[in-house]
Structure 1
Amino acid sequence: MGRLVAARDWRPDLILCSPSRRTRETLVEVQKSLDGGTAVHFLPELYNGAENEYRAAIRRSGAEAACLLLIGHNPTIHQTALHLSASGSPGLIEQLRQSFPPAAFATIEVDGAWDAINSDAGRLVDLVTPEEAFRQLAL
């Protein structure tokens, strides 16, 4: 997924990451594709937190960023992505409803300020699973 981040030139201003070993490993791979200047906040509430705690973390920390990357855990990160995706391509939304495997990457655009984010606030514009990333990068 780190190679896909580089290939698509995604550049978050801030990364919110669970402090677990697995999410830190994911973070290391993603950071390889970034310029090294992206701030990272390790948030304990992303480890065992509920979906409302994920949204609260986004509201608290998002004022620092126009583009935010959240690295967390299933099923909560899947629930968060679903609840934030009020609109978007029907095919992508159905794909998100069906599955959000480990290391999947959902891009959700939100109008307005992060500190006002609530359920149904965004548009799902992209969803890439590790399997799809591998296929795209193998071409």
Structure 2
Amino acid sequence: MKTLLLLRHAKSSWSDPSRVDHDRELNRRGEKAAPFMGRFLREHDLIPDLIWCSTAARAVQTLGLLGRDFAGHADVIYSEDLYMASERTLLECLHHTHDEAKRVMIIGHNSGIENFAKALYRDGDDAARAMMERKYPTCALAHFEFDVENWADTQFETGRMMGFTKVKELQAAKIGAD
């Protein structure tokens, strides 16, 4: 059994139009969102063994803001190939993942992350799938499980969707609990 977590980077800034897209950093909203997602992942025992992360500034910054558990606990592979990657490229990265990693996270960009999640879906949480198909916002997380021993055996339409989590809902739940 393998677990895959697909995280879209947190909200980025458009304040400097001269900045190259790859170098855009998070805005204040994004800086606040990533720690919420990190807390959710810790509370639900979803700390990955290995993280594939785009080299774009906003993806690297998102990873850093998830919390110390992530950079310290997991192996991290920074890959320029993940910057604006297609679903085919994301699947190839997954196929190159060492099989000792049981839980893997990919931090990337739309439309690739969203299209990859849609392409992986075989069955599972239909409500989560419907929510994901309506909108895959920044810092949202799709959670899949695969009945495979080797990452190379993952294919499109073989994933069981376990959930889809949006930071906006996590923040609203915290405000409601306070």
User: Which consecutive residues of structure 2, in runs of 5 or more, have no partner in the other structure?
Assistant: 1-36
Aligned residues: 139
Kindly report which structure 2 residues correspond to 1:56-135, keeping only aligned pairs within 5 A, or say none. Answer: 56-112=92-148, 113-135=150-172
User: Which consecutive residues of structure 1, in runs of 5 or more, have no partner in the other structure?
Assistant: none
- Residue in 1 that maps onto 2:66: 30
**TM-score, normalized by length of structure 1?**
0.92
Runs of 4+ in 1 over 2 A off after TM superposition: 31-35, 135-139
Could you tell me how far apart the structure 2 residues matched to 1:127 and 1:81 are?
10
**TM-score, normalized by length of structure 2?**
0.73
- Residue in 2 that maps onto 1:48: 84
Letter matched to residue 50 of structure 1:
S
Look up the SS of the partner of 2:62 in the other structure. Answer: helix
Contact 1:18 1:45 in 2 (8 A): yes
Letter matched to residue 122 of structure 1:
G
Could you tell me how far apart the structure 2 residues matched to 1:77 and 1:43 are?
15
Identity of aligned residues (%): 27
Could you tell me how far apart the structure 1 residues matched to 2:46 and 2:174 are?
15
Calculate the aligned-residue CA RMSD, in Å: 1.5
Could you tell me how far apart the structure 2 residues matched to 1:62 and 1:71 are?
17
Are the structure 2 counterparts of residues 33 and 131 from structure 1 closer, same or farther at C-alpha, using a change threshold of 3 Å? farther
Contact 1:14 1:64 in 2 (8 A): no
TM-superposed CA distance for 1:29, in Å, is 1.5
